[in-house]
Amino acid sequence: MEIKVFNTAVEVSEFVAKKLIERVKSKSNLNIGFATGRTMDAIYLNLINNVKTESLSFKDCKAFAVDEYIGLQKDSSNSFEHYLNLHVFDNLDFEKSNIFIPETSLEAIDEKCQEYELKIKNAGGIDFQLLGVGLNGHIGLNEPGSSLDSRTRIVALNSSTRNSNKALFRNESVPTVAVTMGIGTILDAKECCMVATGETKAEIVQKIINGDVNSKVPATALKQHKNSVLILDKNAAKLI
């Protein structure tokens, strides 16, 4: 796993956005795995602003959301689908038929998870996977203890994950379960780009970089990937 450190979170977001733009320029039908979360806000804003100047089209690209909560109200503004629509899809020219979000109806949920895996496979696999990292080392919503060869499935969310997201929720309780791409699913991507910024991520970044690959810190799985990069600002990298 390559490691890149920038002085500021602004520089990180600019670099990641430009990297994705370069990939779309090289392959107009790029399959992209989209993560959510506060780390991604500035990346997506930079992406949109740069695309406007580049006159770049995403109409032939396919987008796969990494995860989605289970049990939210219909059309909830707290869903990851809403987040991605607001920050990405409503601002770029993705075809709606090329946007894929994990289904969260509990009826036949295991089959729906398998279908999501099949959609990724039938598209030719994910070319460029964007990832954040949780304070406990989760990627997607693969919490500590997740198998490193896990696939898309329903997962229980740790209290630490729920607490860190509590401030983002309005008029709803933070869900206790979600659907997420598995670690094995993520590792199948041709290129993985994991991002961490801010002092709050310094401790987990230290564990990722200095520790062995292990299920207690799911993000360490990226160290096995032949084409992965961990992109940090100076604050997130302060303990390495």
Candidates 136, 158, 191, 225; catalytic one: 136
Closest CA to 39 of 197, 156, 207: 197
Candidates 67, 68, 81, 233; catalytic one: 67
- The separation between the first and the last C-alpha atoms of the chain, rounded to the nearest angstrom, is 15
Candidates 143, 188, 191, 233; catalytic one: 143
d(CA 207, CA 209): 6
- Whether residue 152 contacts residue 181, with contact meaning beta carbons closer than 8 Å, is answered with yes
Q: Does the structure show a pLDDT above 80 at 170?
A: no
Strand arrangement, sheet containing 177-180: 67-69, 177-180, 153-156
d(CA 197, CA 6): 10
pLDDT tens digits for range 73-119: 888 999 999 999 999 999 999 999 999 999 999 899 999 999 999 99
Give the pLDDT score at 169: 85
Classify burial at 213, counting beta carbons within 10 Å of its beta carbon; exposed 0-12, middle 13-18, buried 19 or more.
middle
- Does 136 qualify as catalytic in the annotation? yes
pLDDT band, very low/low/confident/very high, at 233 (cuts 50, 70, 90): very high
- Does 225 qualify as catalytic in the annotation? no
Give the pLDDT score at 118: 98
Give the pLDDT score at 240: 94
Q: Does the structure show a pLDDT above 90 at 185?
A: yes
Section 127-152 average pLDDT: 97
Classify burial at 209, counting beta carbons within 10 Å of its beta carbon; exposed 0-12, middle 13-18, buried 19 or more.
middle
Section 15-39 average pLDDT: 97
Q: What are phi and psi of 60, to 5 degrees?
A: -100, 0
Give the pLDDT score at 236: 98
pLDDT band, very low/low/confident/very high, at 125 (cuts 50, 70, 90): very high
pLDDT band, very low/low/confident/very high, at 167 (cuts 50, 70, 90): confident
Classify burial at 55, counting beta carbons within 10 Å of its beta carbon; exposed 0-12, middle 13-18, buried 19 or more.
exposed
pLDDT band, very low/low/confident/very high, at 172 (cuts 50, 70, 90): confident
Structure tokens at 23: 């990939």
Candidates 14, 46, 81, 138; catalytic one: 138
Section 168-187 average pLDDT: 93
Give the DSSP letter string of 187-237: HTSSEEEEEE-SGGGHHHHHHHHHSPSBTTBGGGGGGG-TTEEEEEETTTT
Give me the torsion for CA of 156, 161, 166, 170, rounded to 10°.
-50
pLDDT tens digits for range 5-19: 999 999 999 999 999
- Does 143 qualify as catalytic in the annotation? yes
